[in-house]
Amino acid sequence: MKFFLAQLNPIVGDLDGNAKKILNLADTAYSNSVDMVLTPELSLWGYPAKDLLLKKNLVERQYTLLDQLSVSIHKKYGDLSITVGIAEKIDDSFFPNLYNSIVLIEGGEWKTIARKIILPTYEVFDEKRYFRSEDKVSVISKKIKHKTYKLGITICEDLWVNENIEGRGIHKENPISDLKNKKIDLLLNLSASPYTFKKLELRNKISSFAAKYLQVPLVYINQVGANDDLIFDGNSFIVNKNGSKIKQLKSFSEDTSCWNINENLNLEVENKCSEISSVFDALVLGVKDYAKKCGFRSALIGLSGGIDSALVSVIATAALGNENIYCISMPSKWSSKHSKIDAKDLVQRLNIVLKTISIESIMSSFEDSFIESINFKVRGITDQNIQSRIRGTLLMALANQEKHLLLSTGNKSELAVGYCTLYGDMNGGLSVIGDLYKTNVFKLCNWLDSEDSLERRKAYKLNTRVKIIGDSIRNKAPSAELGPNQLDSDSLPPYSLLDKILKGIIEEKKDLQLLEQDGHSKEQILKIISLIKKAEFKRKQAPPILKLSSQSLGSDWRVPIAISN
């Protein structure tokens, strides 16, 4: 029995376009004499479809498309079978009234062959809002050349049942255990599993465990591409019954491959990219797909000469090409000479456009207007925020007029403690590095300037002759330059300390006592906790944040604004 593994990048809600993509696959699969094409979870909808699943017209449209696909595939490709992920309607009066299902198209018809059992409701997942759980495992029989194969089918989370590996606790259901006595020949897992730090390693372990436990090969098909704040890395694979990987598809790009169940493949040497390389690839794909799927061809960045905007400029250039990146420098009277030079040097290395708009006269007009109109003298943090908001207004005007995607350049450390300005540096359509702590921004920039990144830079057509970020940008003390000789350390603890406490609070959910046991002072912890709470209203108004960690400050951060300090 020969399979065609199809690692797809669907557009959420574009049922017609996604159906066409699946139909186009059939031609390649047929030319390779395969028996069954495997596509990811909800491949007809794209994942996550969110409240689009509540639109009755779309649910009905999918059935029309399934009928059309079934007829077209049978007419052109005979007995070829294709799995498609759909939202199956349940005809009763209860809600939710959908299953997350897999259908099999073959013989000019289609039928449901699997329904998802475990519906995740952690991090970004909210599947119980839309779907009901199936209560039994799915096994189908396929007769190929006088031999019948029994295929077990699981959908994404149905595979994640080993508490010792995935660490979230025991599910009430255990599809892998339930399959033990079904005497299957092969386990399929059709997924839409987003990228996060260490996810690739966990996915390999959980799949290896299932294959060894059931003593059958496992085929894992994953969605690829970015949808809003989520990035799907692909990395589909096959492991043998001993849990060893025998085939690996590409990371962060669409890919296909064929495999015969009777083919004894040699163990595949994994293309082990470093974690930091994967982070860069994920961010590039995140920007590329967000722009493409939202209809943008170019990006605009406020370039300060600091490390955050420098990193975002590199990511954007890799994602959209240097001819589509536009940077604006907006110096004030507090902007240092070296920052202006650093910004100019960076754009030369990236070969992108830089224009300068001085905001000194605009600031003066603001100050004069306040004094003349209401005898109000702008001071301190208010004066600093006005600078940031002037810059934000200029950037939004340019983005609006020229139809650029404005990219926000704030990092996770700043967003966490509110070291950012609403309607100023928080302006933008996408927060690129909002899930990277400042210390990780430095790590990623150090990697970009090392020889270890040369292969990736070459692949993205970035400059490989020189250090792309530059020593001057990487080595200077962080500063927003909103006041005389201002440094971030004037208001915040050193980032090496701050980020450890932030990670303990945000990702690890540690309380005061546990944080103190880690060696942090009570006074420092309480101050940071207070800053996080006070900044919640800002984060609720921030642009979408590309998710990299198990707990970003974006759509999976569900903390009330109005709570006690």
Domain with CATH 3.40.50.620 in the chain: 278-489
Q: Which of 106, 134, 142, 156 is catalytic?
A: 156
CA atoms of 410 and 328, how far apart (whole Å): 16
Looking at residue 492, its pLDDT comes to: 87
CA atoms of 188 and 206, how far apart (whole Å): 13
Residue in the block written with tokens 């669409």: 254
- Do 84 and 102 meet the contact criterion of CB atoms below 8 Å apart? yes
Q: 60: Cβ–Cβ under 8 A, 6 or more apart, which residues?
A: none
Q: What is the number of alpha carbons within 13 Å of residue 237 lying toward its C-beta?
A: 24
Q: Is the dihedral of CA 483, 484, 487, 491 positive or negative?
A: negative
Q: Could you tell me the two tokens for 524? A: 């420092």
Cis peptide before 96 (omega within 30 of 0): yes
Domain with CATH 3.60.110.10 in the chain: 2-261
In the chain, what's the furthest Cα-to-Cα distance? Answer: 91
CA atoms of 116 and 454, how far apart (whole Å): 42
- Do 397 and 362 meet the contact criterion of CB atoms below 8 Å apart? no
Looking at residue 332, its pLDDT comes to: 85
Q: Which SS3 state, helix, strand or coil, does residue 308 take?
A: helix
According to DSSP, the β-strands at 218-222 and 237-239 are antiparallel
Does residue 294 have an active-site annotation? no
CA atoms of 340 and 49, how far apart (whole Å): 44
Eight-class DSSP state of 403: T
Q: Backbone dihedral region of 485: left (phi > 0), alpha (psi from -120 to 50 degrees) or beta?
A: left
Q: Which of 116, 142, 438, 503 is catalytic?
A: 116
Q: Which of 21, 41, 412, 438 is catalytic?
A: 41
Looking at residue 263, its pLDDT comes to: 79
- The rounded radius of gyration (Å) of the Cα atoms in the chain is 26
Q: What is the CATH number of domain 2-261?
A: 3.60.110.10
CA atoms of 239 and 323, how far apart (whole Å): 42
- Do 358 and 330 meet the contact criterion of CB atoms below 8 Å apart? yes
CA atoms of 409 and 198, how far apart (whole Å): 24
- Between CA 189 and CA 196, with CA 192 as vertex, the angle to 5 degrees is 115
Q: Amino acid identity, residue 234?
A: G
Of 130, 136, 166, 168, give the one whose Cα is nearest residue 153: 136
Looking at residue 344, its pLDDT comes to: 95
Eight-class DSSP state of 424: T
- Do 393 and 328 meet the contact criterion of CB atoms below 8 Å apart? no
For 259-298, the DSSP string reads: EETT--PPPPPP----HHHHHHHHHHHHHHHHHHHHT---
Q: Which CATH number fits domain 278-489: 3.40.50.150, 1.10.3720.10, 3.40.710.10, 3.40.50.620?
A: 3.40.50.620
The pLDDT profile of the chain, 565 residues, written as one tens digit per residue, is 999 999 999 999 999 999 999 999 999 999 999 999 999 999 999 999 999 999 999 999 999 999 999 999 999 999 999 999 999 999 998 999 999 999 999 999 999 999 999 999 988 999 999 999 999 999 999 998 889 999 999 999 999 998 888 777 778 889 999 999 999 999 999 999 999 999 999 999 999 999 999 999 999 999 999 999 999 999 999 999 999 999 999 999 999 999 999 877 777 655 667 899 999 999 999 999 999 999 999 999 999 999 999 999 999 999 999 999 999 999 888 777 888 899 999 999 999 999 999 999 999 998 899 999 998 998 888 888 999 999 999 999 999 999 999 999 999 999 999 999 999 999 999 999 999 999 999 999 999 999 999 999 999 999 999 999 999 999 998 887 677 777 777 788 999 999 999 999 999 999 999 999 999 999 999 999 999 999 999 999 999 999 999 999 999 999 999 987 6
Q: Could you tell me the two tokens for 88? A: 């199956």
Does residue 451 have an active-site annotation? no
φ, ψ of residue 295 in degrees (nearest 5): 90, 20
pTM reported for the whole predicted model: 0.95
Does residue 420 have an active-site annotation? no
Helices 380-402 and 360-374: crossing angle in degrees, nearest 10, is: 120
Looking at residue 490, its pLDDT comes to: 79
Residue 520, CA distances (Å) to 438, 496, 500 in order: 19, 12, 9
Q: Could you tell me the two tokens for 199? A: 């996810």
CA atoms of 348 and 369, how far apart (whole Å): 38
Q: Is the dihedral of CA 305, 308, 311, 313 positive or negative?
A: negative
**Length of the chain, in residues:** 565
